[in-house]
Structure 1
Amino acid sequence: PRIDPYGFERPEDFDDAAYEKFFSSYLVTLTRRAIKWSRLLQGGSVPRSRTVKRYVRKGVPLEHRARVWMALSGAQAQMDQNPGYYHRLLQGDRNPRLEDAIRTDLNRTFPDNVKFRKTTEPCLQKTLYNVLLAYGHHNQGVGYCQGMNFIAGYLILITNNEEESFWLLDALVGRILPENIFRTWKLIHGHRRQAARELQGPAAGTGVSVPVSCVARLRTDSDSPFQS
């Protein structure tokens, strides 16, 4: 098939024969792992143990991935402790700047994935918009940053669940990824925009490039996280 299980189109030069040959031999391994995971999860919960850690490192089968990610990341616990919170975020006050920033990136998100195209029904762009909007309201210190659309989009493909994707995004940005990674990115991006505006004024034609101006500003700004 020209489309993989996640909805991504395979390139024209994709070697179907080589893939089928590899997959037919690898299927035995995948089946064995899937059986082990099914036995492990029979009790309902995802235990925290060395066995689970070993299984995770070898790969979580697609059919169990959302459940395992939700449990081990702490996202499931957060969702259970905050019933209705996600939907209240979507029903709260509007933030036009946040909404515009998110809409700008919707069509840029996985353009080679048929599930995110407007011609597809249902189109996952609306789900992606809701997840990013809710997170922007939830974590106003971060809001929305370019790149978050791809993280959220992939979570949506895995979970096929809007609310679970939101809580997984919260776990990633709030607890798993390095602290303040998106705040730092926004600071850098803001300095780049300011430097570009300045170069369009009197500084234009001085031969100073935008990246150099950004570095200079980061090194002298008292609010910069790189200040020594």
Structure 2
Amino acid sequence: MANKEVQKNGKFAGSSTLGKLSKIDPHGFERSDNFDYVSYEIFESEYLGVLAHRAKRWNQIIKDGDKKTIHSNGKVKRFCRKGIPDCYRAKTWMNLSGATKRMENSLDVYEKLLETGCSNDVELIEAIKTDLNRTFPENIYFNGKMTDDKRQSLYNILLAYGRRSPAIGYCQGINFVAALILLVVKDEEKSFWLLSTLLDHILPQYYTKSMLSLRVEMEVLKELVSSKYPLCQEVMERAQAPWMIVASKWIICLFIDVFPIETVLRIWDCMFVEGSKILLRATLCVIKQNETKLLLCKDMPEIVKLFESIKTDTTVLECHHFMQKCF
């Protein structure tokens, strides 16, 4: 979290950040002028204690960073649900998703994808370049404010993926997913393999033109809401507000720009070991937490406005409590 509090081994030296928050968060996102520093500092002063405890537990699994391979088991799954420390997050995502093994079994593939063109290159390159400067313009690593500008690496990752998986190629939303992976993993080739693993194996057919898996997930969501929160579903149906319109962005962007970044990363910690079901768990948790407000909505605009405000909701900001409620 706060850079001054974090030591190299993932432990935390202090438990309070009040008055110390930078205008740029640890992942490079610039905090807006209306950012609620007070609420965030209160949250972070508590959350640092949670992170310190989790870092100690993860040190035992990773053996202070020396362990090269992490295998999925019941203990690791529980640990992922409780959060992966930043210093171990990239290695854990790569290992548990299977991306490391795919990269090791595909030597030179990434370089060859960048060197060799394909039949849809003109359309693919144009689409990527159109969205490149729209990707995280509030992040110093993507807006030209740092010498370590990651836009070229992001372009390479998206181009290589589009060439390798022409059935998907490139569509809006993938740029944000790839960019966040790059911010966490920090290595271009590893980020490519993690993105490929995510889109082709963990979330297959979410990003195809038909969005088949996404549409299925929205139908499953409707059934779950009807079962668990029937009054909420009645409100949605009266307002003629299908979940595909209201919640599809949450799933397709994997909650980027929907939740605060800490909460997004916590959801991803689970996604890379448990798969897509965490996306529905998180969606249901949001609906449950906003049930009272949703029941007061009279039409679709009110529903959309309600769910657009969740990013500033303190119940979502408090990512550790939110994740506990998901399970």
User: Separation in 2 of the partners of 1:104 and 1:113?
Assistant: 18
**Structure 2 residue identity aligned to 1:93:** G
**Structure-to-structure mapping, 1:63-74, within 5 angstroms:** 63-74=87-98
2:125 is equivalent to residue 99 of structure 1: yes
Work out whether residues 145 and 186 of structure 1, in 8 Å CA contact, stay in contact via their aligned partners in 2: no
2:75 is equivalent to residue 51 of structure 1: yes
1:26 corresponds to which residue? 47
**Structure-to-structure mapping, 1:156-171, within 5 angstroms:** 156-171=182-197
Between structure 1 and structure 2, the one with the greater Rg is 1
* Structure 2 counterpart SS, 1:18: helix
Work out whether residues 181 and 191 of structure 2, in 8 Å CA contact, stay in contact via their aligned partners in 1: yes
**Structure 2 residue identity aligned to 1:49:** N
2:58 is equivalent to residue 37 of structure 1: yes
Alpha-carbon displacement from aligned partner over 1:52-106 (angstroms, at most 9, x marks no partner): 0000011111111110000011000000111111111101126222111100000
2:209 corresponds to which residue? 184
**Structure-to-structure mapping, 1:186-225, within 5 angstroms:** none
Unaligned runs of 5+ in 2: 1-21, 213-327
**Structure 1 residue identity aligned to 2:110:** Y
Unaligned runs of 5+ in 1: 188-228
Q: 1:34 to 1:17 in 2, by over 3 A?
A: same
User: Separation in 1 of the partners of 2:54 and 2:41?
Assistant: 19
**Structure 2 residue identity aligned to 1:150:** F
2:14 corresponds to which residue? none
* Structure 2 counterpart SS, 1:27: helix
RMSD: 1.6
* Structure 2 counterpart SS, 1:53: helix
**Structure 2 residue identity aligned to 1:19:** Y
2:178 corresponds to which residue? 152
User: Separation in 1 of the partners of 2:29 and 2:201?
Assistant: 29
Alpha-carbon displacement from aligned partner over 1:173-199 (angstroms, at most 9, x marks no partner): 11111x322223479xxxxxxxxxxxx
2:143 is equivalent to residue 117 of structure 1: yes
Post-superposition offset of 1:13: 2.2
Work out whether residues 168 and 209 of structure 2, in 8 Å CA contact, stay in contact via their aligned partners in 1: no
User: Separation in 2 of the partners of 1:119 and 1:45?
Assistant: 36
- Percent of counterpart pairs with the same letter? 42
User: Separation in 2 of the partners of 1:14 and 1:140?
Assistant: 40
**Structure-to-structure mapping, 1:136-147, within 5 angstroms:** 136-147=162-173
User: Separation in 1 of the partners of 2:57 and 2:114?
Assistant: 39
**Structure 1 residue identity aligned to 2:151:** Q
1:220 corresponds to which residue? none
Count of paired positions: 186
Normalised by the length of structure 2, the TM-score is: 0.54
* Structure 2 counterpart SS, 1:104: helix
Alpha-carbon displacement from aligned partner over 1:11-57 (angstroms, at most 9, x marks no partner): 21223343233322221211110111111012332122111000001
Normalised by the length of structure 1, the TM-score is: 0.77
User: Separation in 1 of the partners of 2:133 and 2:153?
Assistant: 13
User: Separation in 2 of the partners of 1:173 and 1:110?
Assistant: 20
**Structure 1 residue identity aligned to 2:56:** I
**Structure 2 residue identity aligned to 1:35:** K
Work out whether residues 205 and 211 of structure 2, in 8 Å CA contact, stay in contact via their aligned partners in 1: no
